Amino acid sequence: MNDTNPSLAIHTAVALFTIRERLEFLCLDQGRLPMAVLEAGEGLEASARRALGVATGIEDVFLEQLYTFDGGRDGPQATVAYYALAPCEQLPISRPGVGWADPADAATRLHNDHRIIVQRACERLAGKLEYAPIAYQFLAERFTLGELQAVYEIIGRQALDKRNFRRRIQASAHLVETHDVRRNGCHRPARLYRLRDTQPMIARSPVRP
Amino acid sequence: MNDTNPSLAIHTAVALFTIRERLEFLCLDQGRLPMAVLEAGEGLEASARRALGVATGIEDVFLEQLYTFDGGRDGPQATVAYYALAPCEQLPISRPGVGWADPADAATRLHNDHRIIVQRACERLAGKLEYAPIAYQFLAERFTLGELQAVYEIIGRQALDKRNFRRRIQASAHLVETHDVRRNGCHRPARLYRLRDTQPMIARSPVRP
DNA sequence: TAGGGTTGGTGTATGAATGACACAAACCCA
DNA sequence: TGGGTTTGTGTCATTCATACACCAACCCTA
């Protein structure tokens, strides 16, 4: 029942992204992303979550399938890659062998096959930013428009006009204004917003690849 | 070396679409899409092409990975789904057990897991139509603007204004005008166009899922 | 060979969305 | 109390999207 033939296996791999000043991904010291071997009776997404849980202790994050790569050198093999997004506050990861890296450094930090995963994930992130509410996955439940704009600027790699950005966001109607503000420094406090709770959360196959 | 344990397998499945008046997909009489079991040393895309070749005899078509599904009842299993596009002229398929079906009838023609593949493929097709030059995959090398518009209307499921459509297409600069026309019926002949040959052909992971 | 039927091909005017741009408000700190 | 910093707001110009009508070229039939 338990087939352990190493030449035939389905792997899952996860690129977990967060934003702390810059966009960063979670990287194991061996130059790999968190991975798992798919077990009997286990779903692919469950396997990916398990991989992430083993490496980091967290499992409750946004997770979406990215692409499936063939690793077939010795036998029929496939690696189903996922990407995950989480706000950095939720990530008290301080385990040995686990760290963060800049996607631009992926080439030096990761083995080839995993480098491609990170690169593709960045591309999809930037593309999807424009039409899907994924930016919110990097933020806490309540956030300021300034924080949201920073996410868009970091992922989209370009500065945005504050007024035009706010107009665009308000028009998308994803947000609701709360009655609270956040005092964050020696300046005017910022109003807090949250995602409209009727927001259907999407974690499906891309419609627009 | 040759592992034939049926409880651990990687499958590929292909939904081949074409347009003949309507959008249609290729459907085997057993209510399945063309499939293959990934072999040792075989790439995923190669496996999908093989599946299509076995069922139809053709292999040289646009093919893109769609999504990977887990079929894990008895063991670790995965089905990597692809979708393929081809002009109907290239498809002289008249084999027993192979036919065409309307995606709207997929529910009655296909088993559940394959129905989802067709449905997702239709969604991606419609989404991708707007920003990627996939419509040309349904046309011969040279085609008229009327034919191209028909493809857009069928996949996008809405009628388009002729003049606005033409302006949009001309603006995209994907096309070059040829010096020939096609006489097609009892009306004015239509100018023939072809894809600009410097067009980088994309068959990659979706950037915008 | 003339006229009717059919599809191919073209321009303009209006409203909507986008992009550029500057200044006062609120807070903290010195 | 004044300087520094981020929040928050409106307008104008340009571009983009939409709606819309007629002649051209061909084939077929009478």
Q: Pick A8 or A135 by higher pLDDT.
A: A135
**Candidate from A50-64, B20-34, B190-204 with smallest mean pLDDT:** B190-204
Q: Do B207 and A42 touch (CB under 8 A)?
A: no
Q: Determine the pLDDT at residue B72.
A: 56
| Interface residues, strand D, Cβ cutoff 7 Å | A 144-146, 162-164, 166-167, 181, 184-191; B 161-164, 167-168, 183, 185-189
Residue A69: per-residue pLDDT: 96
Q: Picking from A181-185, B182-186, B200-204, which range would have the lowest pLDDT averaged per residue?
A: B200-204
Confidence of residue B89 (pLDDT cuts 50, 70, 90): confident
Candidates B119, B117, B129; CA nearest to B81 is B117
Reported as a single tens digit per residue, the pLDDT across B96-148 is: 889 999 999 999 999 999 999 999 999 999 999 999 999 999 999 999 999 99
What structural domains does chain B harbor?
Answer: 9-129 (3.90.79.10), 139-195 (1.10.10.10)
Contacts of A207 in chain B (CB under 8 A): 123-124, 126-128, 208-209
The pLDDT score that the predictor gives to residue B137 is 97
- pLDDT for A41: 87
Question: What pLDDT does A51 receive?
Answer: 97
Which chain A residues are closer than 8 Å to B77 by Cβ? 10
- The model's pLDDT over A87-128, given as tens digits with 9 standing for 90+, comes to 998 777 778 889 999 999 999 999 999 999 999 999 999 999
Nearest to B13 by CA among B110, B98, B80: B80
Spatial distance from the CA of B175 to the C1' of C10 (Å):
18
- Do residue A209 and residue B124 have CB atoms under 8 angstroms apart? yes
